[in-house]
Protein backbone atom coordinates (compact mmCIF):
# COMPACT_ATOMS: atom_id res chain seq x y z
CA UNK A 1 0.00 0.00 0.00
CA UNK A 2 0.88 3.61 -0.43
CA UNK A 3 1.91 4.07 3.20
CA UNK A 4 4.83 1.68 2.78
CA UNK A 5 6.56 4.19 0.50
CA UNK A 6 9.01 6.52 2.15
CA UNK A 7 7.05 9.47 3.45
CA UNK A 8 9.53 11.84 1.82
CA UNK A 9 12.06 11.36 -0.97
CA UNK A 10 15.06 12.96 0.69
CA UNK A 11 17.16 12.90 -2.44
CA UNK A 12 14.57 14.92 -4.32
CA UNK A 13 14.40 17.40 -1.47
CA UNK A 14 18.21 17.76 -1.41
CA UNK A 15 18.25 18.21 -5.22
CA UNK A 16 15.83 21.07 -4.92
CA UNK A 17 17.31 22.74 -1.85
CA UNK A 18 20.95 22.15 -2.69
CA UNK A 19 21.39 21.01 0.90
CA UNK A 20 19.99 24.20 2.41
CA UNK A 21 18.30 22.85 5.53
CA UNK A 22 16.56 26.11 6.33
CA UNK A 23 14.96 26.20 2.90
CA UNK A 24 13.90 22.56 3.33
CA UNK A 25 12.17 23.40 6.59
CA UNK A 26 10.40 26.40 5.06
CA UNK A 27 9.32 24.32 2.10
CA UNK A 28 7.99 21.54 4.30
CA UNK A 29 6.10 24.01 6.50
CA UNK A 30 4.48 25.55 3.45
CA UNK A 31 3.69 22.18 1.95
CA UNK A 32 2.20 20.71 5.14
CA UNK A 33 0.10 23.80 5.80
CA UNK A 34 -1.29 23.85 2.25
CA UNK A 35 -1.75 20.07 2.16
CA UNK A 36 -3.89 20.25 5.31
CA UNK A 37 -5.99 22.95 3.70
CA UNK A 38 -6.52 20.77 0.62
CA UNK A 39 -7.61 17.79 2.73
CA UNK A 40 -10.07 20.02 4.60
CA UNK A 41 -11.40 21.18 1.19
CA UNK A 42 -11.77 17.54 0.13
CA UNK A 43 -13.65 16.62 3.29
CA UNK A 44 -15.94 19.61 2.92
CA UNK A 45 -16.59 18.90 -0.77
CA UNK A 46 -17.22 15.24 -0.08
CA UNK A 47 -19.73 16.10 2.65
CA UNK A 48 -21.46 18.43 0.17
CA UNK A 49 -21.47 15.68 -2.46
CA UNK A 50 -19.29 17.77 -4.82
CA UNK A 51 -17.04 15.35 -6.72
CA UNK A 52 -15.58 18.06 -8.98
CA UNK A 53 -14.20 20.08 -6.06
CA UNK A 54 -12.83 16.91 -4.46
CA UNK A 55 -11.05 16.12 -7.69
CA UNK A 56 -9.59 19.61 -8.12
CA UNK A 57 -8.21 19.70 -4.59
CA UNK A 58 -6.80 16.17 -4.92
CA UNK A 59 -5.20 17.04 -8.27
CA UNK A 60 -3.51 20.10 -6.82
CA UNK A 61 -2.24 18.20 -3.80
CA UNK A 62 -0.93 15.41 -6.00
CA UNK A 63 1.05 17.93 -8.07
CA UNK A 64 2.64 19.76 -5.18
CA UNK A 65 3.36 16.49 -3.29
CA UNK A 66 5.23 15.13 -6.31
CA UNK A 67 7.09 18.38 -6.66
CA UNK A 68 8.47 18.31 -3.12
CA UNK A 69 9.02 14.53 -3.13
CA UNK A 70 6.21 13.58 -0.73
CA UNK A 71 5.58 10.34 -2.59
CA UNK A 72 3.12 8.59 -0.22
CA UNK A 73 0.91 11.67 -0.05
CA UNK A 74 1.07 12.07 -3.84
CA UNK A 75 -0.10 8.49 -4.34
CA UNK A 76 -2.95 8.83 -1.87
CA UNK A 77 -4.03 12.08 -3.49
CA UNK A 78 -3.93 10.34 -6.87
CA UNK A 79 -6.23 7.66 -5.49
CA UNK A 80 -8.72 10.29 -4.31
CA UNK A 81 -8.51 12.03 -7.69
CA UNK A 82 -9.19 8.81 -9.62
CA UNK A 83 -12.11 8.00 -7.37
CA UNK A 84 -13.64 11.49 -7.79
CA UNK A 85 -12.98 11.50 -11.53
CA UNK A 86 -15.26 8.50 -11.86
CA UNK A 87 -17.93 10.70 -10.25
CA UNK A 88 -17.66 8.75 -7.01
CA UNK A 89 -16.85 10.20 -3.63
CA UNK A 90 -13.88 8.94 -1.60
CA UNK A 91 -14.78 7.21 1.65
CA UNK A 92 -13.84 8.78 4.94
CA UNK A 93 -11.13 6.25 5.59
CA UNK A 94 -9.17 7.25 2.49
CA UNK A 95 -9.24 10.92 3.46
CA UNK A 96 -8.23 9.94 7.02
CA UNK A 97 -5.24 8.06 5.67
CA UNK A 98 -4.28 11.14 3.65
CA UNK A 99 -4.50 13.27 6.78
CA UNK A 100 -2.45 10.71 8.71
CA UNK A 101 0.17 10.72 5.95
CA UNK A 102 0.53 14.48 6.24
CA UNK A 103 0.85 14.18 10.02
CA UNK A 104 3.58 11.58 9.64
CA UNK A 105 5.46 13.83 7.23
CA UNK A 106 5.08 16.77 9.58
CA UNK A 107 6.46 14.69 12.42
CA UNK A 108 9.35 13.31 10.42
CA UNK A 109 10.31 16.74 9.07
CA UNK A 110 9.76 18.29 12.51
CA UNK A 111 7.18 20.73 11.22
CA UNK A 112 5.73 22.51 14.26
CA UNK A 113 2.04 21.80 14.86
CA UNK A 114 -0.30 24.54 13.64
Partner 1 sequence: MRILVAEDDRSSRMVTVRLLERLGHAVVPAEDGEEAWLLISRGGKFDMVISDWMMPKLDGRRLCQRVRRRENRCGVSYTYLVLLTAMTDRDHMLAGFGAGADDFLHKPLDEAELVARLRVGERIIALEKRLGDEVEKLQGANRKLHADLKAAAAVQDSMLPRELPPDDRVRFAWDYLPCEELAGDILNIVPLTKDKYGVYVLDVSGHGVAAALMSVTVSRVLSNDPMSSLLLGETAEQDVTPPGRVLALLNERYPIDANSGMRFFTIAYGILDAAKGTFRYASAGHPPVLVCRGGKSEYLTTGGPAIGIIPDWGFEEAEIEMDPSTRVVVYSDGLIENPNARNRQYGYDRFAELICKTGSCSFDRLTDTIVHEARTWSKTAGLEDDLSVLVFGMK
In the complex, the residues that contact partner 1 under the rule CB under 8 A are 15-18, 23, 26-27, 30-31, 34, 60, 63-64, 66-68
DSSP alpha helices (H): ranges in 1-114? 10-17, 21-47, 51-68, 71-85, 92-108
Q: At what angle do helices 71-85 and 92-108 cross, to 10 degrees?
A: 160
Residue closer to partner 1, measured from CB, 78 or 94? 78
Smallest separation (angstroms) from partner 1 to the CB of 83: 18
Cβ burial 85-110 (10 Å sphere, 16+ → b, else e)? eeeebbeeebbebbbebbeebbeebe
Smallest separation (angstroms) from partner 1 to the CB of 60: 6
Residue closer to partner 1, measured from CB, 11 or 92? 11
Residue closer to partner 1, measured from CB, 93 or 114? 114
Smallest separation (angstroms) from partner 1 to the CB of 20: 8
Residue closer to partner 1, measured from CB, 66 or 99? 66
Of the CA atoms within 13 Å of residue 92, those in its CB half-sphere come to: 1
Amino acid sequence: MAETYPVIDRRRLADVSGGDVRFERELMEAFVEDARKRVSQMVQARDGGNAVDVRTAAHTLKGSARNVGALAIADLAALVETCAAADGLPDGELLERLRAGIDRLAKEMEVPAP
